[in-house]
Structure 1
Amino acid sequence: MPSSGALPAGAISTLGTRPFGFYVHVPFCVTRCGYCDFNTYTASELGPGASQREYADTAIDEVRLARRVLGDADLPVETVFFGGGTPTLLPAADLVRILRVIDEEFGLAPGAEVSTEANPESVGPAYLAALAEGGFTRMSFGMQSARPHVLAVLDRQHTPGRAADVVSEARQAGFEHVNLDLIYATPGESDDDWRASLEAAIEAGPDHVSAYSLIVEEGTRLATRIRRGELPMPDDDVAADRYLIAEELLGAAGFSWYEVSNWATGESARCRHNLLYWNSGDWWGVGPGAHSHVGGTRWWNVKHPATYASRLAEGVSPAHAREELSPGDRAVERIMLELRLSSGFPLAEVARPGEAARALSEGLLEPEPYRDGMAVLTLRGRLLADALIRDLT
């Protein structure tokens, strides 16, 4: 990656032809959850040269770098997503300040979606009110489970009832859109535990729920515990059963799936930032380890906050490396992402139409959209989505 951060002319020339957004990575956590392999750091892991207190200024430096790299193209920002880590470990004023600079440099599109992730224990009414006043429109809380013993396996620190309380606080602060993240198939979780978590999430009153099967990532504390035999490995059949329970309860409560792991109460409640990813939009990722994509060029930043900060202080791009996607790569990525959406993928662009016909005959694709030229997953197809995508590409 050039030290200036310059992008290929072909990528720059397509700016403005696709939706554009920002992802802002905040790499700080109070403690490290046992299942997490994200690029995050606790205070004891940061080391010299990295400062949580100065992080907003460093992130703002990268936003201004983005403006220089992308030139004077008109790029109204349709979505901004603060993720982590725990973005809400920073003062609300810091998050608002970063957002304000994005607006100053690029301009927020009318009705832009501005989201942040938060742990339920990391925010309160005053903090939420400051975010709402500062332009944030959507909150996403990491609930994960309503059962204490499941949270303990995941090394989550919040109390089970806090997620419901914080949804109410977000509503009172003025947030129309609130998401709860859940994890299923954790070792020691029963069907009844999972049902209780879903029921608690629904009762809390969000308009969006994300539910993800637990993935055991190498190098995590959870992987070590499983390897030692302290915990059983999550079972794929159990995970499938839990997904069916999620579809049953969420559907009965008025939620509809629009992506394999995401349900919303209506189109306006869908996460527009994630839809930008799934529909191959452009975005600039700010922060250590953050990934970006513009016009078929993808790049990613150095991982450690100290290295990230020092590069920007020297006026050098924090990007570590990049790749230019071939037309074939982009076609494969499109089907991998778009087939997971309820809107589906055009059959005319499927590389192996015979496999699509087989999937239809096996009940993995919906018949009516198929007749209209779209591959849309059935409920059974959602359970086998990864394997089906491999077959179609």
Structure 2
Amino acid sequence: MAGPHPVGDPAPLDGLLPASAGVGADERDFGVYLHVPFCKVRCGYCDFNTYTATELRGVKQSDYASQAVLEVESAARILAASGVAARPAATVFFGGGTPTLLPADHLVRMLHAVRDTFGMVPGAEITTEANPDSVDLAYLLQLKAAGFTRVSFGMQSAVPSVLATLERTHDPERVPLVVQWARDAGLDVSLDLIYGTPGETIENWRASLEHAIGQNPDHISAYSLIVEDGTKLARQIRRGELVQPDEDLQADFYELADRLLAEAGYEWYEVSNWSRGTEHRSRHNLSYWRSADWWGVGPGAHSHIGGVRWWNVKHPAAYADRILAGHSPAAGRETLDDDTRELERVLLLTRIREGIPVATLTTAGRREVAGLIADELIDARAAIGGTIELTLRGRLLADAVVRRLLTD
């Protein structure tokens, strides 16, 4: 289970949003995120809002789809009553947890609710996350028939010892099988990797990268392992049972990933994400980095509409109680002020390849551009053309670049 909620204001039981949320809504994309908070086992490094069967306090996984549908339907009513322009969904993303622990027809039912309630733009991107051991061909064919376009497999590593440290339960040899099944079903494929696991060597990481590239997926994500407070992994490191990931070694891992992926024809488009051409980028995740609007459905899910951000109650039992009582499941929210929205704009846009226009920075931020070029943190040609684009070194030090661009 994840840590405490962010600090914010109480959310009203009716879920209504302030008038500011509707300003300019018809000019922003809209997406839907559906959080499925169930896992077979809890991985030691994970601090996501997920629950195993013994932690559900009487809640039935089989009831979850019906509850999520109720929130989707209430979302449309809340947006309309709050004066937020109705828009079809450009992207839908099922995350978790392990969404594919539920029967395929449960995911299909939730997707149909989104389509029936909001509509879909032509060619909408519809993704589910999956573990390699949680699907078969029949399952994936059912998703494709319902309109899913993409599946993102949590591969993490191809090395059994690394998977064991992460407490991942799948056999790495299953990855080629599920990728082929997804291909046979007509779905785009993404593979998610993690680097920097305690005890992982550069040779281990190379093996994982080569195994992933060998499957010829459309998209690869590579995330550095972050040791989150309160996780089993953090306790193991504190007790000396495992070694804290080394930042210099993680930088080496990242540089190797970028080189091997580039050689294989993948382009980076966000600090931790690479795709085969722009058509295979994760449009849903790009909507987050571009501060678009999205409604998050499910326990602990976060939403953002027009500078208003809120988060749902975390436990599935509390979520079910709210939904079945006809109340908003939101636990708290915040309305971002202009300074916070500017900070987030710079923070998020700097991470993506298209970068951020120099002209939109403050005067102090623009003065930093020459120094960032000299320090080889941003691309000189792009900066001269009016855009901040991170170099490889800049991607490794992205937070430092953002701090300089936000200089007062």
Q: Same fold per TM (> 0.5)?
A: yes
Match of residue 48, structure 2, among 25, 35, 38: 38
Q: Decide which of 22, 27, 41 is 2:32's aligned counterpart.
A: 22
Q: Partners of 1:386 and 1:329 in 2: how far apart? A: 16
**How many pairs align?**
391
| CA-to-aligned-CA distance 1:284-340 (integer Å, 9 cap, x gap) | 000000000001100100001000011010000000011001111111101100100
Q: Give the aligned residue type for 1:9.
A: A
1:330 maps to which residue?
341
- 1:231-278 Cα offsets, whole Å, 9 max, x none, are 100010000000000011100100010000000011110000000001
In 2: Cα distance, 1:333 partner to 1:55 partner:
33
CA apart distance, 1:15? 2.2
Amino acid at match of 1:380: R
SS in structure 2 at match of 1:82: strand
Q: Which runs of 5+ in 2 are unaligned?
A: 1-10
Report the 3-state secondary structure (helix = DSSP H, G, I; strand = E; otherwise coil) of the residue aligned with 2:192. Answer: strand
Task: State the distance in 2 between where 1:298 and 1:68 align.
Answer: 18
Is 1:202 aligned to residue 213 of structure 2? yes
Written as runs of structure 1 = structure 2, the 5 A alignment for 1:50-129 is 50-71=59-80, 73-129=85-141
8 A Cα contact 2:79 2:86, kept in partner: no
User: Which residue number in structure 2 is paired with residue 368 of structure 1?
Assistant: 381
For residues 308 and 356 of structure 1, the distance between their equivalents in structure 2, rounded to whole angstroms, comes to: 47
Alpha-carbon shift at residue 12 of structure 1 (Å): 2.2
1:384 to 397, 400, 404: 397
Partner SS state of residue 54, structure 1: helix
Which letter maps to 1:60? Answer: V
Counterpart pick for 2:278 among 258, 267, 277: 267
- Distance in 1, Cα, partners of 2:250 & 2:367: 29
Q: Is the 8 A contact 2:99 2:130 kept in 1?
A: yes
CA distance in 1 between partners of 2:131 and 2:149 (Å): 17
TM-score normalised by the chain length of structure 1: 0.98
Match of 1:341 among 340, 344, 352: 352
Post-superposition shift, 1:204? Answer: 1.0
Matched, 1:130 2:142: yes
Conserved? CA contact 1:167–1:178, under 8 Å:
yes
Deviations 1:192-227 (A, max 9, x none): 110100000011121100000000001111111100
Correspondences of 1:211-290 after superposition (within 5 Å): 211-290=222-301
Q: Output the CA distance in 2 between the equivalents of 1:162 and 1:173.
A: 17
- The 5 A counterparts of 1:280-319 are 280-319=291-330
Question: Aligned partners of 2:370, 2:311: CA distance in 1, in Å?
Answer: 38
Aligned to 2:13: 3
Question: Shift in Å at residue 345 of structure 1?
Answer: 0.6
Correspondence list, 1:133-144, <5 A = 133-144=145-156
Pairing 1:344-363 to 2, within 5 Å after superposition: 344-351=355-362, 352-363=365-376
In structure 1, the partner of 2:189 is 178
Letter in structure 1 aligned against 2:143: L
Q: Secondary structure at the match of 1:225?
A: helix
Amino acid at match of 1:58: Q
- TM-score normalised by length of structure 2: 0.95
**What is the alpha-carbon root mean square deviation over aligned residues?**
0.9
Question: Within 2, Cα distance between the matches of 1:27 and 1:252?
Answer: 37
1:127-180 residue CA offsets vs partner (Å, 9 max, x unmatched): 0000000110000000000000000000000001111211111000111x2100
Structure 2 residue aligned with 1:146: 158
8 Å Cα contact 2:293/2:305 also seen in 1: yes
Give the whole-Å Cα distance in 2 for the aligned partners of 1:101 and 1:314: 19
